[in-house]
Structure 1
Amino acid sequence: MRWNTNTFGLRRFLCMPLTLIMLSASMTSAVIPIKTAYGEAAEGTSSQPKNGALGQGPEAKTARSYQTAVSDWKRWVADHAYALHTIQPESWSANGGSIAQDKFSDLDMLIPLLADKRIVYLGENSHGVAEFNLVKTRLIQYLHQTLGYNMVAFESGLGDAALAQGQIKKMATQETMRRSIFGVWWTEETKPLFEYMKETHKSESPLRLAGFDIQVQSPLFQDAKWIPSKGLKDRALQAEQDVRKWRMSKDLSGFRKVKPELIKVYEELLQVVTKNENALKMDYPDEPHIVKLMKRALEDRIRVIQEYNELCIQSNILTEQGDYSGTQPMMEWRDRALASNLAWLATKVYPEERIIVWGHNGHISKAQSLISNMPKSMGELMPEELKRESYVMGLFTGQGQFAENTREPVQLDPMIPGSMEDILTAAGQPYTFMDLRYRENERGNSWMFERMIASYQVMMPMPLELRRHFDGVLLIKQVKMPTYLPHKK
């Protein structure tokens, strides 16, 4: 394993819509410290010298070796980890989406962990893993059927998801997916979630869709009957293209010249929303909060034009010079916006709903800024009250293949001996879940409480204090890239 942060070329990650940019300098010093439980001498050791001299006398002991520690950890994991029987989504009824409860018996260990939580985060260390899409769909089915989670919020456009939800009953399933989420999840493995979601809208407890991202995904106004002026609609569609184009630019002065006119377009659209609320509600009847959500989406566009695009352009300029310092403020701005939107959804739009969040490990982490040179993540920027009511589950790969955001296949490197992934494989199961949050530090699980190598982002292993980042981890031992649906024409 080459532990060089430039192994795959940092440049390709910069300012991409979805990829978490890993710039951690800690990779060059990724050494796993050897500790004993509670910071004391391990069983079979002595913390005090005997007879005045260390190592003298018949009772003298020695510290365990690192290999012994790993063996201790693996024995403990084999006894304490939970196995999922399957990651395949369950079959549901054709009249409301109900699923027999005994299909989920292997997931019932989640009940005591999540029964008092309002938000469950489901992460992933890559957007390009088929098994992640499958297991998340099954977990969402379980959380909806068993624990009453009725919202799925994607790391995708807030306005895009609102429009798709607003027409979910009449829109074809695949079109709902394409309209609402980023293209990295347009896969055969994600389709069952949207099929299930649509079916539940025949029941009294539908599973609803939301987004919380601020990036321009697809034009919000392509079918906007609620905009009476053709001239304004054309300007709005052009503005959507321009906002997206300028984010990739290196012409800061040029952007500043057009910025006032771009902002003006979205300010006019905000006025039109207020004047045409009824038309908007009629066009999107399956989203009762469509007016509030559209206003938020337009306000997000204005914030992106005012601040985010400038950060992106500045980062692009620096990156061309081989200076990656501009990526950190850009990344943190986005995560602050994600946190703001998600908190707003949870408290102002759906204050009574329990929410499942679908996003990258790097966004849901509770403590990303603990990693050297990394900005604060959405998870650590959430309000404290919502943090207390949340459970954060990171998903990790074992071996096999994944896909880049470009859909290009990449072969995973072998697991690092003594890494979190290596330790969890000791459970001897293809799908292994471990709770980290409700554990006391003891000899067999001290790996949870110290710096441990894990692939927080796939192919970029780094030292993490796992419990600071995640409440639980799910390891898929063997993975492959998704089966992608064609790009939009």
Structure 2
Amino acid sequence: MQKTDNLTAYINEHANPYTQTADLEPLIKEASKARYVMLGEASHGTSEFYTIRAEITKQLIEEHGYSFVAVEGDWPPCFEVNRYVKGMAPEYSTARDVLRSFNRWPQWMWANEEIIPLIEWMKEFNKKQPARNQAGFYGLDVYSLWESMEAIIEYLEKIKSPDVEKAKNAFECFEPFNKKPEKYGVSAAYYGEDCMEEMLEMLRTLRQNKSTYDDDPEASLNMQANAVAASNAEAYYHAMVSHDAESWNIRDKHMMEALRIISEHYGTGTKGIVWEHNTHIGDARATDMANEGMVNVGQLAREMYGEEDVYAVGFGTHRGTVIAGAKWGAIPEKLVVPKGVAGSWEDLLHKSGSFNKFIMFNEENRKLFRDIIGHRAIGVVYHPEMEHLGNYVPSRISERYDAFIHVDETKALTPLIS
């Protein structure tokens, strides 16, 4: 038998079909043993990836005591969602209102119809909980330099903190770049004109005086996370112009730092759910990323917390449609996702039966899925006609994930347009 024939046979033996969330109960039960459940996605524009993760998330929060959802999104707008679900944002009447806070491209990642039911569910769930048990919603990403700085200054001014001058001094350093990170990146990388010293000084000051901001725990968390986001964003934009691998590592290490800060806010024994692309939650050591010196959240979390406390679930599809842009900043389009390339993980999952299925990897079967195989990854910029040239990541699937959910045919999510 050829290697692909073996894999198809192994999939037939170990995969379970599913048509509804109840069918995923064995996976959810196993995942709930971990401190962190990481739910992936093969694209940022697929409806089913959002709706399935939402149903799993509800069960983990309601039945297994998970405290927060941390997503691949910027801290400031995600914190607005957090305020909404915790009943602290009377200025928003509905989830649709608060999702308008997402105004950085690609907005559709969070400003979409599919996420609305989860946000409204979290708000209703929290109404029945004491404040200490309310589930939170937070962003892990690193892009929000200007927005985070503005939030820090606004808060420090509100409480009349003497630290506001250092924050303003740091922010003034960035003003010549007109909120254009690419301009700052070029200036920092090639001309040595950066704001690193100002950012580090601000961060040191805020950390030294952290105890003075503890009267309002959520506000204190917000300022601390914004300070770290702003500092790491400076480093990210500094590196992204000339060091792709370095900027990637800065970003994923930042996301781990943000996850740690959120966890410490909730206290010892906290359990959290992470929503990010497969390329972030699937262990980088099981892909060719490792050859380029790249790390990711999945790897770092396993190293920091132990493999038994991290449960990573990959998601994929054989074919369908997706929302993406032809280039960065372009108007999003509904694009056709072609059938999985012959011999790829997606192709073999389809050949084993054209229905939705999931596989849980364990000590008995993990060795069967360790062969390197191409595994599709779709970004916010996508060219379907070219995907065979660069959208398949060589992966050892059972080492990259603890489980995998396959949706045979998917449809594009629905961005909010009003």
TM bucket, shorter chain: 0.7 to 0.9
Structure-2 residue corresponding to 1:394:
314
Amino acid at match of 2:233: V
Match of 1:81 in 2: 15
2:44/2:378 contact within 8 Å kept: no
Indicate which of 212, 216, 229 corresponds to 2:144: 216
Question: Cα distance, 1:276 vs. partner?
Answer: 6.2
Residue 449 (structure 1) shift: 1.9
**Residue 484 of structure 1: aligned partner:** 415
The structure in which a higher percent of residues are helix is: 2
Matched position secondary structure for 1:117: coil
Q: Which runs of 5+ in 2 are unaligned?
A: 380-386
TM-superposed CA distance for 1:412, in Å, is 2.0
The alpha carbon displacement at 1:366 in A equals 1.4
Q: In 1, are the aligned partners of 2:169 and 2:198 still within 8 Å (CA)?
A: no
Mapped pair 1:381 → 2:312? no
Q: In 2, distance between residues paired with 1:470 and 1:243? A: 41
**Residue in 2 aligned with 1:452?**
373
Q: Are residue 151 (structure 1) and residue 68 (structure 2) matched?
A: yes
Q: Which residue of 2 aligns with 1:312?
A: 240
SS at match of 2:374: strand
Report if aligned partners of 1:368, 1:374 keep a CA contact under 8 Å in 2: no
Give the counterpart of 1:333 among 246, 250, 253. 250
**CA spacing shift, 1:353–1:427, aligned 2, 3 Å:** farther
Letter in 2 for 1:472: A
State the alpha-carbon separation in 1 of the partners of residues 394 and 282 from structure 2: 14
**1:194 lines up with 2:119 in the alignment:** yes
Does residue 245 of the first structure (1) align with residue 180 of the second (2)?
yes
Question: With structure 1 as the length reference, what TM-score do the two structures score?
Answer: 0.67
Q: CA offset at residue 289 of structure 1?
A: 3.5
Q: Does 1:123 align with 2:45?
A: no
Letter in 2 for 1:152: V
SS in 1 for 2:340: coil
Partners in 1 of 2:213 and 2:118 — Cα distance? 33
Letter in 2 for 1:418: G
Q: CA RMSD in A?
A: 3.5
Q: Structure 1, unaligned stretches of length 5 or more? A: 1-63, 87-103, 282-287, 316-325
Conserved 8 A contact 1:166-1:290: no
Identity among equivalent pairs (%): 19
**Matches of 1:82 and 1:439, distance apart in 2:** 16
CA deviations over 1:330-357 (Å, ceiling 9, x no partner): 1111111212222343345443321110
Q: Which amino acid aligns with 1:110?
A: L
Aligned AA for 1:311? A
Task: Tell me the residue number matched to 2:274.
Answer: 357
For 2:187, the aligned partner's letter is D
Provide the rounded CA distance (Å) in 1 between the counterparts of 2:36 and 2:310. 5
In 1, the alpha carbon distance for the partners of 2:324 and 2:48 equals: 15
1:201-237 deviations in Å (ceiling 9; x for gaps): 1122543212222221772446936514799698888
Among 441, 464, 472, the alignment partner of 2:403 is 472
Paired residue for 2:98? Answer: 176
Report the CA distance shift for 1:71/1:176 in structure 2 as closer, same or farther (over 3 A).
Answer: same
Q: What amino acid is aligned across from residue 415 of structure 2 in structure 1? A: Y
- Offset from partner CA, 1:354-392 (integer Å, 9 cap, x none): 111000111112134740436111211224434330110
- On the 8 A contact 1:127/1:185 being kept in 2, the answer is no
Which one-letter code corresponds to 1:353 in the other structure?
A: T
Q: Which structure is larger by alpha-carbon Rg, 1 or 2?
A: 1
Q: What amino acid sits opposite 1:396 in the alignment?
A: G
Opposite residue 136 of structure 1, the aligned amino acid is R
How far, CA to CA, are the matches of 1:440 and 1:345 in structure 2?
A: 34
| Deviation (angstroms), 1:403 | 2.2
TM-score normalised by structure 2 residue count: 0.78
User: Using the alignment, how far apart are the partners of 1:257 and 1:197 within structure 2?
Assistant: 41
